[in-house]
């Protein structure tokens, strides 16, 4: 008999690709999603891209009764439902905490009564805060931060006690979390709630810390989504993308199809139970470089990134993934070359229309003193 899988928040970007991955491997898939207008538009209709074999249940993860009904005969749960975005989380504190933290608590109470064979929760690289660093002398730094004084002076890098510039290293799962935003706090809460309750109620649970995921189906009109989608929205409206600081902050960009495969492996590999895994590409690029590469793919060379020289509260300087643990235990290896992934994204973008809300979002942050 086919296993039945439920994905909370599964009508979104990553969730919909996971649907494709699971159905291609013979699983039955149910999606439970509230189709939030910021992501799905005011019509809140079933997305055209959602696989036709997916059963879609419209519901809020905080609705215990509806969630209980949706879990009927479900074997495996992927918990993706969450409000997403560092910047917005810093002023929609109640909403992010209610959806992400309380929503996860509601899910775990339902699973107490309806245990499943496996639970996989989507966590985030944001919980690390700054990534791992090393000093010129070779000392490793797990927890470092930039002062407001240096940020106002445009001194963007991290320094040791002697003022030497620290060099970023690939960040492993063993790094101590350093929660720099409300969003990061809520994602860590989701991760820990699932792992703690899963252990208590004998539900094998896996947490996946996604790095910067890119690909088709991103919500282009949501100014708080992934950075590549935000840049794409600007380019589609013939505007230069806005880049905070000097553009040389480093991130790990991983293709959504690789992420979907990692999610499937987390369910299928028994040894994954109780573990936390980074899901990234193992590579790193500067944000400025990413903007320029996307412009090249979209043939927008006349729209170079606009460097704002501003800092956004909650942002970090460098963080990219050490994915050796996922390789060792899950057998996960990224397969999509970054250039190929960007070209695929560019082809999809040619058929898309994006409402550019980036300037409005920037004004929201500035009005609340969240950029300096």
pLDDT-based confidence at residue 233 (cuts at 50, 70, 90): confident
Assess if residue 229 is contained within a domain.
Answer: yes
- pLDDT value at position 358? 60
Instruction: Kindly tell me if the per-residue pLDDT of 67 is higher than 90.
Output: yes
pLDDT-based confidence at residue 224 (cuts at 50, 70, 90): low
% of the chain with per-residue pLDDT over 90: 82
Over range 245-265, report the average pLDDT.
97
Better pLDDT: 207 or 230: 207
- pLDDT value at position 354? 67
- pLDDT value at position 359? 65
Assess if residue 75 is contained within a domain.
Answer: yes
Q: Which whole-number Å values give the CA distances from 327 to 21, 78, 140, 272, 332, in the listed order?
A: 19, 21, 24, 11, 5
Question: Which CATH number goes with the domain that contains 261?
Answer: 3.40.50.720
pLDDT-based confidence at residue 40 (cuts at 50, 70, 90): confident
Assess if residue 372 is contained within a domain.
Answer: no
pLDDT digits (tens, 9 = 90+) for 267-319: 999 999 999 999 999 999 999 999 999 999 999 989 999 999 999 887 899 99
The region of weakest confidence among 45-59, 108-122, 196-210, 357-371 is 357-371
Assess if residue 54 is contained within a domain.
Answer: yes
What positions carry a catalytic annotation?
183
pLDDT digits (tens, 9 = 90+) for 136-156: 999 999 989 999 999 999 999
Tokens of 45: 């209709």
pLDDT digits (tens, 9 = 90+) for 163-218: 999 999 999 999 999 998 999 999 999 999 999 999 999 999 999 999 999 999 98
Instruction: Kindly tell me if the per-residue pLDDT of 87 is higher than 90.
Output: no
Domain region containing 295: 4-367
Assess if residue 128 is contained within a domain.
Answer: yes
pLDDT digits (tens, 9 = 90+) for 348-369: 988 887 676 666 666 766 677 6
pLDDT digits (tens, 9 = 90+) for 312-341: 887 899 999 999 999 999 999 999 999 999
- pLDDT value at position 352? 80
Q: What is the pTM of this model?
A: 0.94
What's the domain count of the chain?
1
């Amino acid at each position: 008999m086919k296993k039945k899988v439920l994905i909370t928040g599964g009508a979104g970007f990553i969730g919909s690709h996971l649907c494709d991955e699971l159905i291609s491997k013979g699983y039955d898939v149910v999606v439970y999603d509230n189709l939030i207008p910021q992501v799905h538009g005011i019509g809140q209709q079933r997305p055209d891209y959602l696989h036709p074999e997916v059963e879609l249940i419209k519901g809020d993860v905080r609705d215990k009764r509806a969630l209980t009904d949706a879990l009927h005969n479900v074997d495996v749960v992927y918990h993706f439902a969450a409000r997403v975005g560092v910047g917005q989380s810093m002023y929609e504190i109640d909403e992010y905490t209610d959806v992400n933290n309380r929503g996860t608590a509601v899910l775990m109470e339902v699973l107490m009564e309806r245990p499943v064979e496996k639970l996989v929760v989507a966590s985030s690289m944001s919980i690390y805060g700054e990534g791992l660093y090393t000093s010129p002398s070779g000392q490793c730094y797990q927890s470092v931060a930039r002062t407001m004084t240096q940020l106002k002076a445009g001194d963007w890098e991290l320094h040791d006690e002697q003022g030497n510039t620290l060099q970023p290293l690939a960040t492993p799962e063993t790094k101590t979390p350093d929660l720099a935003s409300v969003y990061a706090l809520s994602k860590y809460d989701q991760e820990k709630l699932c792992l703690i309750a899963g252990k208590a109620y004998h539900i094998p649970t896996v947490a996946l810390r996604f790095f910067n995921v890119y690909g088709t189906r991103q919500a282009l009109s949501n100014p708080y989504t992934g950075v590549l989608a935000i840049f794409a929205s600007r380019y589609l409206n013939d505007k230069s993308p806005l880049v905070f600081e000097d553009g040389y902050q480093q991130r790990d960009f991983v293709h959504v199809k690789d992420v979907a495969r990692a999610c499937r492996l987390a369910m299928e590999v028994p040894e994954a139970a109780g573990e936390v895994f980074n899901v990234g590409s193992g590579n790193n690029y500067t944000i400025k470089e990413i903007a320029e590469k996307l412009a090249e793919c979209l043939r927008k060379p006349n729209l170079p990134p606009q460097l704002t020289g501003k800092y956004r509260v909650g942002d970090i300087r460098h963080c990219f993934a050490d994915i050796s643990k996922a390789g060792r235990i899950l057998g996960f290896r990224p397969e999509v070359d970054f250039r190929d992934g960007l070209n695929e994204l560019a082809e999809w973008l040619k058929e898309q229309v994006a409402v550019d809300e980036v300037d409005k979002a920037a004004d929201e942050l500035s009005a609340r003193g969240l950029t300096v």
